Structure 1
Amino acid sequence: MIEWSKTTIKEFQTSLLGWYDENHRDLPWRHDQDPYHIWVSEIMLQQTQVNTVIPYYERFMRLFPSVEKLAQAPEEQLLKAWEGLGYYSRVRNMQRAAQQLLQDYDGKWPQTKTGLQELVGIGPYTAGAIASIAFNQPEPAVDGNAFRVFSQLLEIEADITKPQTRGIFETVIRKIISKDRPGDFNQAIMDLGASFMTAKNSDNAHSPVRQFNQAYLDGRLDEFPVRSKRLKPVDKHYFALVIKTPQGYLFQQRASNELLAKLWTFPLIDGDKLKEEYPDLNEDTLSKTIESKFAAETEIKTDLQLVDAPVVKHTFTHQKWHVTLMSTELQDQPDLSHFAGQIANVEQFTTLAWPTLQKKLWSAYQKRQIKLF
């Protein structure tokens, strides 16, 4: 790992911040230093592109313009506002943190990185971003951009997939960060990582800090950041039941301890558990077995048929779901006394908080093979 002298650090700060002053992105959450605005944007930006986040952020601010409004929001409205961003635990934690701010902090934000991490769902990166941008604290904000940028600048060979590596980067960056403009420094690193020093198709030859980039100068860019291979997501198999009634389609809300907690989907049957229960299950017995299982749980009788559509695939961090569509149309309105869900027609779909998976299921069902005569 390269270590810079105080002179080099000063030269780097001057080059980076001079470029940032002339070329920084005009983003809605950068129009002020309000910690609420910074917090919401940073949570939304986790694993989501900036251009995707902007309309979500603007709508979120219209719906919940303050910590107070967020703390008081109905959960269904909150989940609907977050729909499409994924990882719904994040917005639930945001509401819990908002309530915590009001109850325990009298609505006043902690101004240190340590204090901010006392709030639910705020980790080291988000705390560093808020502390530096909102409160001018010289704290690093180490995310994927910072890992990539500084690992190349200094040829840091620590594996970024290991938890202890964050501490190495924070120690290094704390020596380099501008004490006068820490917020701008961190945002400049974000912009640098999104422009000249991207993960793919980077343009280091024209980077404003190319003379400081040791990996570029040594022809070793492809070696940094050091990252061990991720484990392959585990394959999981499900059946989604598209059950149409005279009033609409059956939907169930996922349990709070399941993936996609509290979100609405077509009823889902765990295919892997089904195979464990019925080892001799085959194509001939599949429909009747699922019909029987669904009837035992809900007392709703169905006549399920496989839908002529591709298997819907959706990848989570540690799981890859393969969902097969099955459908039926009930002539009479079913008794929902034992069904943990509701009926919604197409016009009501926009009122339900759908995960991306459900959007894929509905799209696949709409595009199912239709015979033309």
Structure 2
Amino acid sequence: MIDDSAKAAARLLSWYDRNRRDLPWRAKPGEAVDPYRVWLSEIMLQQTTVPAAAPYFRNFTERWPTVRALAEAPLDDLLVAWAGLGYYARARNLHKCAQAVVSLHDGRFPGDEAALLELPGIGAYTAAAITAIAFARKATVVDGNVERVIARVFAVADPLPNVKPTLRKLAATLTPDERPGDYAQAMMDLGATVCTPRKPKCMLCPWTEFCEARAAGIAETLPRKVAKTEKPTRRGTAYWLLNPDGAVLLRRRVESGLLGGMTEIPSTAWQAEAPDGAALAVHQPLALSWRALPGLVRHTFSHFHLELAIVTAQAGDGWREAEGLWVPIDRLSDQALPSVMVKVARHALAHA
């Protein structure tokens, strides 16, 4: 049990000074912290691992080294650079937020949580992280790693997600006034490298003596989670249509909803049942003789599995009547294709 929060914070910060991770967005000791890099990394790390986010972060900061540069970039360029990172609403909000920082704050991120929360795409966690890390102001930063550490230190057995407010309140009791940014990053590092989901390295933990879950022998069982319901499966058919020049037809999805604003290979709606002949005819880009390709493309989103069949056809003289954008196959990588559509393209090229 932690009855001396100052002692606990000092112990953790001492451990962090010796063991901090070298991350591309993290300022080195003695370096000034750039709020833009903190914000960009925190948005990228939502629902994404550090190894997956790192190359995207390097690419973004090389192409757009400031929030003003990002705000002035065409959204399509940003979406292409984001492709493969997933959860594309983050990319659209990233652009909106950069523009808001420029228009409302003259290109400088505000330094308090309330003002940060007014910006597009910034929630409680990100606002706290920017406040603590970029501006060295006291704020309680709670991500999945921190939740795990707090649940174990205080032996909180109630399951996620309902217990999140309790974990945040407990975390707030430990947040120090001094070095709040380093403390926030120390908590993240502790959860990522020592207090791991499986087989936590308790003997290496600076908080071993404080951890109630370790004392009770239940550390690896925490935090507990409500059993997940099985994801449903949706089905559809994608249309791989080539014109006489060998270009493939693409179109842009509507701005709202799943993959909003992204480029896609035309398809039917994604529903529980595979589309019948009537549905295939309604959604086809051109009335042609379509040939089914062998196999299915499978992809998993956060809330459902997707199975896509692919049909292909060659457009004749009326190819210009199709609504969308004709793109040479060797230029597909220039488009903002989400991962599922990259899979469709690869499958079609392998089997057409």
Q: TM-score, normalised by structure 2?
A: 0.92
Aligned to 2:119: 119
Report if aligned partners of 1:138, 1:174 keep a CA contact under 8 Å in 2. Answer: no
1:195 is matched with 193
The alpha-carbon deviation at position 137 of structure 1 amounts to: 1.4
- Going from structure 1 to structure 2, the CA distance change for 1:20 and 1:87 (only over 3 Å counts) comes to same
Aligned to 2:53: 53
Partner residue of 2:314? Answer: 329
Letter in 1 for 2:126: T
Give runs of aligned pairs for residues 257-276 of structure 1, distance below 5 A.
Answer: 257-270=256-269, 272=271
The one-letter code sitting in structure 2 at the alignment partner of 1:264 is T
Gaps of 5+ in 1: none
Q: Residue 177 of structure 2: SS of its match in structure 1?
A: coil
Give the match's secondary structure for 2:193. coil
Partner residue, 2:305: 320
Deviation at 1:213, TM superposition (A): 2.0
Contact persistence 1:253–1:340 (CA under 8 A): no
The residue that corresponds to 2:281 in the other structure is 292
Q: Read off the aligned partner of 1:223 and give its amino acid letter.
A: T
Structure 2 match to 1:183 = 181
Q: Shift in Å at residue 211 of structure 1?
A: 2.2
Task: Answer yes or no: is the 8 Å Cα contact 1:240–1:324 preserved in 2.
Answer: yes
Inter-partner Cα distance in structure 2 for 1:142 and 1:50: 17
The root-mean-square deviation of aligned C-alpha atoms, in Å, is 2.1
Query: What is the deviation of 1:168?
Result: 2.2
Structure 2 portions without partners, runs of 5+: none
Partner of 2:104: 104
Paired position in structure 1 for 2:9: 13
Counterpart-to-counterpart distance in 1, 2:224 and 2:317: 58
- 2:341 counterpart of 1:358: yes
Specify the code of the residue in structure 1 equivalent to 2:91.
V
Within the candidate set 201, 204, 215, 2:202 is matched to 204
**Alignment partners' CA distance in 1, 2:205 and 2:262:** 44
SS of alignment partner, residue 104 of structure 1 = helix
Letter in 2 for 1:11: K
Distance (whole Å) between structure 1 residues aligned to residue 124 and residue 56 of structure 2:
24
Residue number in structure 1 paired with 2:69: 69
**Using the alignment, how far apart are the partners of 1:200 and 1:355 within structure 2?**
31
TM-score scaled by length of structure 1? 0.87
User: Tell me, what secondary structure is at the counterpart of 2:107?
Assistant: coil
- Stretch moving more, 214-223 or 77-86: 214-223
Q: d(CA) in 2 for partners of 1:202 and 1:273?
A: 40
What amino acid is the match of 1:336? Answer: R
The one of 284, 295, 306 aligned to 2:292: 306
Tell me the percent identity. Answer: 30
Residues 271 and 122 of structure 1, relative CA distance in 2, 3 Å threshold: closer
Report if the CA contact (8 A) 2:158-2:224 is conserved.
yes
> Which whole-Å deviations, capped at 9, do the CAs of 1:157-214 have from their partners, x for residues lacking one?
343313xx43322322222122111111110111111111112343223323222222
1-side partners of 2:320 and 2:200: how far apart? 56
Cα pair 1:291 1:302 within 8 Å, conserved: no
